Amino acid sequence: MTRSRTPVVAGWFTGEGDGFRLLGTRCSACASVFFPREDAFCRNPGCPGGELCEVPLSRRGRVWSYTDGRYRPPSPYVTDPELPWVPYALIAVELAAERLVVLGQAVPGVSVADLAVGMEVEVVPGVLNEDAETTWTTWHWRPTGVGA
């Protein structure tokens, strides 16, 4: 049986390969950008309130900071307790055009030893976990110096 590929959160990202993008929203009145997306109200306190339209975020940004998780996180993070825990890196990335910082997991195989503050990274599609019916997809950050 093939698993269906389902985003872990609906509407936060779209596309495949080089076309993969995080999705935010932009206020038509004040041009503020929101990620995670705001669909009901603009959160700029000086804004009269505009229409919030979906907008893809920049594909590339620079590392604001990074860390990793050496211990298994608690649920609702999904892991197999039968398997040994493999740490992964987490990267906070500054997007210059949107002037915001987005946190995400690094692609598998990239550890904190491979990272530096200021390094360029790009967003790529990734897999968070799989269960019997579903492959849950997410976004990952990958240093642009690393091949696919």
Q: How many residues bind other proteins (CB under 8 A)?
A: 48
- CB 13 → Zn ion: shortest distance, Å? 23
With CB under 8 A as the contact rule, the residue among 52, 105, 124, 142 that binds other proteins is 105
Choice between 25 and 32, CB closer to Zn ion: 32
Q: Work out what residue 127 binds among Zn ion, other proteins, none; the CB cut-off runs from 5 to 8 Å by kind.
A: none
For 73-101, the three-class secondary structure string (H helix, E strand, C coil) is CCCCCCCCCCCCCCCCEEEEEEECCCCEE
Choice between 7 and 15, CB closer to other proteins: 7
CA distance 32 to 14: 21
Asked if 135 touches Zn ion (CB under 5 A), the answer is no
For residue 131, what is the enclosing H or E element?
A: none
Beta strand 134-143 with 4-7: parallel, antiparallel or unpaired? Answer: parallel
Asked if 141 touches other proteins (CB under 8 A), the answer is no
